[in-house]
Amino acid sequence: MYTCSKRFALFLFLAATILLRAQDTQNDSIFYFFSEMEAYADQRGIERTSVMQRDSLLQHAESKEKVSLLLAQSKAYMYNEVNKAKSYTARAMEISSELGYKKGILQSKNQAAYLSFILGNFDHSFTLAEEVLAASGRIRFLREKADAMTLLSDIYTEWGQYDHALEKGLELLDFAEKHRKDYLFMKAYAALSHYYLRTGNYEKSLSYCLQGIPFILRLEQRQYFFPKIDEIARMKAKLNDINTALKAYAFYERLEKMMPPPGDYIQSAVYTNMADIYMMSGNFSKAQAYLSKALEMNQENQYRFRIPRALMLRAKLLLKQKDTTTAILSYEESLEAAEQINAFDVVKDNSKALSELYLLTGQPGKSSEYKALFETIRDSLFNNEQEQKIVILETKRNVKEISQRKRILELENETQQANFNTLFTLLMLVLTISGVSIYSYFKVRTKNRLLYDQAMELAKVQLDLKEKLRAWEANSIMVADTKEPPASCQPLDDDVKSIILAKLDNLEEEKFFLDPSCNLHALAETLKTNPKYLSQVINQEKGCNFNTYLNCLRIDFLIPKLIEDEDLRNSKLCYIATTVGFNTLNTFNSAFKKRKGILPSYFIKELNCSQVEAE
């Protein structure tokens, strides 16, 4: 028994931990969205200026441009001055009809339908929205179709026809998923959030609300900022997270200082919801103050579909304050207002509350009347067929979401497999290249070492012959200056060739090649011979052209110097190059590699290593 209790306690602890973590994650998303809204918000004066600018532009605008300006003005005034908004909409409709501008007609009808919805004239709003939906076609007017579908879902919800409301909302979501348009997603999530709010599924309502906000931000639909903040606060309060709800309203007040005021239509809803929050937290005086403001705004602006809910909330507040008599009057007033606009779900809730209150106050006759009304409306709103339809719709949606998640997981697995294959291929390629590189490195290193050893052997031979060359220098042939025949003569005879070679050998001993300015013409002039003869002698006797001959002399001269002079080989390569007559480092590197098969840097490095090992 004790073990079972421990397990049950552990289960409760884990469940609570998971729930709190999920709530924290959701709150993080909410406050992230708030920060994004704040970043998007304009200064208050900007929108006011744009409204005035549009009025000025309307005086000169024509045709379709004028329709767009009129509708923009209507939207700017719809939450504050409904009659002015209706006037702008009517003018837009008139001009669109004269022009035969179908898009303008549909947008004007949608706007007129929404204004009727605000004023609680659901029948007229429904008729206009149906007309837009019928005329919008399949894909031509996507936004106009989405606006009409959203409004129809909202009207069905207010009428209490929840099966139709859910059906229209899910149809719009399918439509959005098919066309992948941000505006359609924004509208679909708004319709579903409204439906689940009215049916009391606050968790799901909040989820759809939060899913829609990224699209609002992406489309920069600032007019929805205040309503969404209000919805978040309301739903968090219903989910007993009063702290987050109050934080949301604190952000609402901060945003009011940065943007134009939201208008009485939104503000009246905010005051009603704040009254509800303060009533739940036991602060009845604040609840009464906010509720009075809300009722005043609703009655002044004739927001008829907001009035019944505000009156019902006042009745609940009066019951909290133990004023049952006045609460009954407020419920009856709410029921009457709801009947005027066919808000059957409110009529149902009010009739149930009145039935219970009249029974408590000893009036069974009236209690029975209201009970009968409640049961009649309940049965008409929630018959088995409608409930089954809602269950089927939600089940279909759940199946579709599961299928979508499954497909996403499959795609992610395919992507991960493809990434793995790519990484494996890259790894094998890297290993292959590395293997080839390592093999090439050791092969080149072996070759370079062999070339270095050969260079060192040749250098030692040169050093051994150095003394013999000095002795031979004393017996060098001294040849008198002789002018060679012109270039057009016959090929050189052996005597001329011997004379040029003897002179060339003398100049080699004098290190003529160390002069950076040395070239074929300068050397021919020094030897008092023709450049062509000199070039022929070098090609025939030295086995290379003049430049190669010159560079070989320089490299052969340098090798012994590097072996003997530690300071020289520890100098910079550019300095070493200039000491033997090279003008550029690139020429020096090329000449050295051509002569010895290795770069001078490698030769010097190996030479230094050999010296260290010898020591």
**Which CATH code fits 462-614?**
1.10.10.60
In degrees, to the nearest 5, what angle opens at C-alpha 363 toward C-alphas 359 and 365? 100
User: What is the pLDDT, as a whole number, of residue 488?
Assistant: 39
**Helices and strands, number each (H, E), in the chain:** 27, 0
Buried b (16+ CB within 10 A) or exposed e, 312-324: bbbbbbbbeeeee
Between 243-252, 313-322, 494-503, the lowest mean confidence (pLDDT) is in: 494-503
- Long-range contacts for 577-583 (Cβ within 8 Å, ≥24 apart)? 578/516, 579/514, 580/513, 580/514, 580/554, 580/555, 581/513, 581/514, 581/515, 581/516, 581/518, 581/550, 581/554, 582/516, 582/551, 582/554, 583/516
Would you place residue 465 in the very low, low, confident or very high pLDDT band (cuts 50, 70, 90)?
low
Helix, coil or strand: residue 492 = coil
Least confident residue range of 12-21, 134-143, 242-251, 300-309: 12-21
Q: Residue 22: is its pLDDT beyond 60?
A: no
Rounded distance between C-alpha atoms, residue 264 and residue 79, angstroms = 6
**pLDDT category, 25, cuts 50, 70, 90?**
confident
**Residue 9 in this model has a pLDDT that exceeds 60:** no
Burial of residue 192 (number of CB atoms within 10 Å: 0-12, 13-18, 19+): buried
pLDDT at 610: 80
Over pLDDT 90: what percentage of the chain? 38
Largest Cα–Cα separation, the chain = 152
> What value does the mean pLDDT take over residues 404-424?
75
pLDDT tens for 477-491 read 333 333 344 443 445
The yes-or-no answer to whether 136-220 and 462-614 have a common fold is no
Q: What is the pLDDT of residue 455?
A: 65
| Residue pair 346/308 in contact by the 8 Å Cβ criterion | yes
Between 377 and 279, the more confident residue is: 279
Identify the band that residue 76 occupies on the pLDDT scale cut at 50, 70 and 90. Answer: confident
* pLDDT for the residue 19: 47
For residues 438, 441, 444, 450, the Cα torsion angle rounded to the nearest 10 degrees is -100
Lowest mean pLDDT among 16-20, 226-230, 273-277, 503-507: 16-20
Tens of pLDDT, residues 195-242: 999 888 999 999 999 999 999 999 988 888 999 999 999 999 989 999
505 has pLDDT over 50: yes
Q: What are the extents of the domains in the chain?
A: 61-133, 136-220, 282-374, 462-614
By the 10 Å C-beta count (0-12 exposed, 13-18 middle, 19+ buried), 29 is classed as middle
Q: Is there a contact between 195 and 183 (Cβ–Cβ < 8 Å)?
A: no
Spell out the CATH class of 136-220: mainly alpha
Q: Report the C-alpha gap between 156 and 159 in whole angstroms.
A: 5
The pLDDT of residue 479 is 34
Q: What does the mean pLDDT of the chain come to? A: 83
pLDDT in tens, 242-290: 999 999 999 998 988 888 888 888 899 899 998 999 998 889 999 999 9
- Top pLDDT among 344 and 389 is at 344
CATH class of 282-374: mainly alpha
Report d(CA 607, CA 567) in Å as an integer.
Answer: 13
- Is the pLDDT at 148 greater than 60, yes or no? yes
Q: What pLDDT is stored for residue 471 in this prediction?
A: 52
Predicted pLDDT of residue 399: 72
Query: In terms of Cα–Cα distance, which of 556, 591, 562, 596 is closest to 465?
Result: 556
Q: Summarize pLDDT for 39-57 with one digit per residue, the tens.
A: 887 554 445 446 777 777 8
Place of tokens 């304050």: 321
Task: Look at residue 434 in the predicted model and tell me its pLDDT.
Answer: 78
Which pair of tokens denotes residue 574? 């550019």
pTM of the model: 0.62
pLDDT at 106: 94
pLDDT value for 10: 53
What are 548-571's pLDDT values in tens digits? 999 999 998 988 888 888 888 889
Residue 81: HSE in the Cβ half-sphere, 13 Å Cα cutoff: 9
Provide the pLDDT for residue 379.
78
